């Protein structure tokens, strides 16, 4: 443990975890305004979400193996610095090209903070204890995240859209200073294995071919794909399609954050009684049922703000379970490659999110049918991944054999 500094340690990580959500939630209500100022198509403007997610995916590929060898703290600080720089560039931009480049830098910076936060917890805590800590910290982060859409919508209603990037740049700078002063290194038994490109490739290959790893990561992939598809479509669908005001849009998106908060809270309570397999099952079943219900209602002619947002809020309850359990499940087979296995999961997680967001950018958002059908497919695939790959692990505990150093 980190003894007296554990509370500060956990609070700092919670503070860094919200950067990714901030960068997406703060951007959503700005999309129509950015499109109008730069005379850009909705598709091009929605790429600002996709390219941010691409940056998050690309960064973890390098951060994971390097942090196993050189430690976590320096990469956390690097990520926070890049996040600050990316937002500062966006604040001063006068072209859509620079805005997209700045969003890429923000994503690369955020990937380090998200990965190092998860890895540091797994450095300090193990198995069910780690799941309990993750649940508590995700719960705290969810409280903050649930406020972000309201804050973003209020700011977008009263200030120029660039002001939001000034806020994010300032927050990134504050977190950089706090982490520089207060965050300790957690990885003291450094990886002494060869860090050549071929060795790194072999590590990733062993990790991504492990059935239990695949089961947990696929559940989270399909979950985030559904989230990403909805986030990408939400502002144009709700504001343009249903005539929702920017402020009310913030209220609706906050309800999703509250759903995630409820799921995280329930997971933290239940993980004391049930194993990781059952906990993941609860999450994916909630995900599947809510997504399919929404798709059915919309596609039989009952499309409304209520029939979209209520099932999505329940969908987000499932995400609270899945995020918490995945953070622990993907590293349990690889105790000596915690950062690399976490990086592999986040690479796939963010990469699939990018694909989903890009796909949604090219689908029409004047009607709710495409996005609801896409989310329902992802919900069904998440359930299938759990049932086929994770459930059998109870009968074959040999799957959880660690990779030998």
147 part of a folded domain: yes
The residue whose two tokens read 């479509």 is: 233
95 part of a folded domain: yes
Residues near 396 by Cβ (< 8 Å), separated by ≥ 6? none
pLDDT in the model for residue 335: 73
Higher pLDDT, 249 or 197: 249
Alpha carbon 70 to its chain centroid, in Å, reads 25
pLDDT band (50, 70, 90) for residue 402: very low
pLDDT in the model for residue 180: 95
177 part of a folded domain: yes
405 part of a folded domain: no
Q: Which residue range forms the structural domain that includes residue 283? A: 3-183+195-400
Residues near 404 by Cβ (< 8 Å), separated by ≥ 6? none
127 part of a folded domain: yes
Count Cβ atoms within 10 A of the Cβ of residue 81 and give its class: 0-12 exposed, 13-18 middle, 19 or more buried.
Answer: middle
179 part of a folded domain: yes
Residues near 336 by Cβ (< 8 Å), separated by ≥ 6? 191, 402, 403, 405
Contact 207, 201 (CB under 8 A): no
Hey, what are 302's tokens?
A: 């009952």
Q: State whether residue 194 is helix, strand or coil.
A: coil
> ∠236-241-242 over CA atoms, to 5°?
115
pLDDT per position as a tens digit, 336-389: 777 788 888 878 877 777 777 777 667 766 678 888 999 999 999 999 999 999
Number of domains in the chain: 1
333 part of a folded domain: yes
Cα 55 from Cα 250, distance rounded (Å)? 25
The residue whose two tokens read 């990965």 is: 115
Contact 323, 138 (CB under 8 A): yes
Hey, what are 194's tokens?
A: 């060869």
The residue whose two tokens read 């939630």 is: 25
Q: State whether residue 209 is helix, strand or coil.
A: coil
Distances (CA, A) of 261 to 17, 178, 256, 358: 14, 26, 9, 27
Cα 212 from Cα 209, distance rounded (Å)? 9
> Quick check: 216 pLDDT over 70?
yes
41 part of a folded domain: yes
pLDDT band (50, 70, 90) for residue 132: confident
pLDDT band (50, 70, 90) for residue 395: low
Cα 365 from Cα 187, distance rounded (Å)? 46
Which pTM was predicted?
0.69
pLDDT in the model for residue 398: 41
Residues near 137 by Cβ (< 8 Å), separated by ≥ 6? 10, 13, 14, 17, 121
> Quick check: 5 pLDDT over 60?
yes
166: how many CB neighbours lie within 10 A of its CB?
16
CATH code (residue 395): 1.20.1250.20
């Amino acid at each position: 443990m980190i003894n007296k500094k554990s509370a500060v340690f956990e609070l700092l990580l919670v503070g860094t975890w919200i950067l990714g959500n901030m960068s997406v939630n703060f951007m959503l209500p700005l999309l129509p305004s950015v499109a109008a100022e730069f005379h850009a198509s909705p598709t091009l403007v929605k790429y600002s979400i996709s390219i941010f997610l691409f940056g998050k995916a690309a960064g973890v590929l390098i951060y994971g193996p390097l942090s196993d060898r050189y430690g976590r703290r320096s990469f956390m600080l690097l990520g926070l610095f890049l996040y600050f720089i990316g937002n500062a560039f966006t604040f001063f931009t006068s072209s859509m090209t620079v805005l997209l480049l700045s969003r890429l830098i923000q994503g690369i910076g955020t990937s380090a903070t998200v990965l190092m936060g998860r890895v540091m917890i797994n450095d300090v805590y193990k198995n069910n204890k780690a799941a309990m800590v993750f649940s508590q910290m995700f719960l705290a982060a969810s409280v903050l995240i649930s406020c972000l859409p309201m804050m973003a919508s209020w700011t977008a209603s009263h200030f120029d859209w660039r002001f939001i990037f000034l806020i994010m740049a300032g927050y990134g700078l504050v977190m950089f200073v706090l982490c520089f002063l207060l965050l300790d290194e957690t990885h003291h038994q450094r990886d002494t294995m060869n860090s050549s490109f071929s060795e790194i490739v072999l590590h990733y290959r062993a990790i991504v071919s492990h059935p239990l790893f695949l089961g947990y990561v696929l559940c989270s992939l399909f979950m985030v794909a559904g989230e990403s598809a909805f986030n990408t479509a939400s502002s144009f669908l709700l504001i343009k399609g249903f005539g929702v005001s920017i402020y009310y849009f913030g209220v609706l998106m906050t309800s999703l954050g509250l759903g995630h908060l409820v799921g995280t809270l329930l997971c933290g309570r239940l993980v004391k009684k049930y194993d990781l397999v059952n906990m993941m099952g609860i999450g994916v079943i909630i995900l599947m049922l809510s997504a399919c219900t929404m798709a059915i209602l919309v596609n039989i002619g009952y499309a409304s703000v209520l029939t979209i947002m209520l099932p999505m809020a329940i969908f987000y309850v499932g995400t609270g379970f899945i995020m918490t359990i995945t953070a622990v499940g993907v590293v349990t087979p690889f105790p000596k490659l915690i950062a690399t296995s976490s990086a592999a999961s986040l690479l796939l997680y963010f990469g699939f999110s990018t694909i989903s967001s890009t796909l949604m950018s090219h689908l029409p958002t004047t009607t709710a049918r495409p996005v609801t059908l896409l989310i329902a497919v992802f919900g069904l695939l998440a359930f299938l991944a759990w049932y086929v790959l994770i459930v059998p692990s109870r009968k074959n505990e040999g799957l959880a054999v660690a990779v030998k150093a």
